[in-house]
Amino acid sequence: DAGVTQSPTHLIKTRGQQVTLRCSPKSGHDTVSWYQQALGQGPQFIFQYYEEEERQRGNFPDRFSGHQFPNYSSELNVNALLLGDSALYLCASRTSGGETQYFGPGTRLLVL
């Protein structure tokens, strides 16, 4: 039973560029959330997708957008990258009726 997978594992971009991160949820899970974890901080909620719609959003600018596909996989897009966007981006999935969220290994983004 595959857990949550994310790609790529690492990414280096320059300021102003755009990036797309991908997530495949755990088998049987239909709800995907994205979190940003800066160095030395706890993860911060970006948004959550269910039934291909954004259901809730944290305090992140519109430069952060996402998408969920019919197979429940999800993408996180960040436009006009800033140095401060450098972080570990975590995807978490759960079933629609479940409470426990399972995290993927993350994508480590460095913006130069």
What residues line the site for other proteins (CB under 8 A)?
31, 33, 35, 40-45, 48, 55-56, 58, 90, 92, 94, 98-106, 108
A 10 A CB-CB count for 55 gives: 12
Q: Pick between residue 37 and residue 79 the one whose CB is nearest to other proteins.
A: 37
Residue with tokens 């954004």: 54
Minimum separation from the CB atom of position 60 to other proteins (A): 12
Task: State in angstroms the smallest separation of the CB of 16 from other proteins.
Answer: 27
Which of 78, 110, 100, 76 lies closest to 90, judged by CA?
Answer: 76
Strand partners, 76: 21, 66
Q: For residues 15 and 23, what is the distance between their CA atoms, to the nearest angstrom?
A: 23
Q: How far is the CB of 107 from other proteins (least distance, A)?
A: 11
Query: Residue 15 or residue 51: which is nearer to other proteins going by CB?
Result: 51
Residue among 71 and 96 whose Cβ is closer to other proteins: 96
Q: Hey, what are 27's tokens?
A: 């088998």
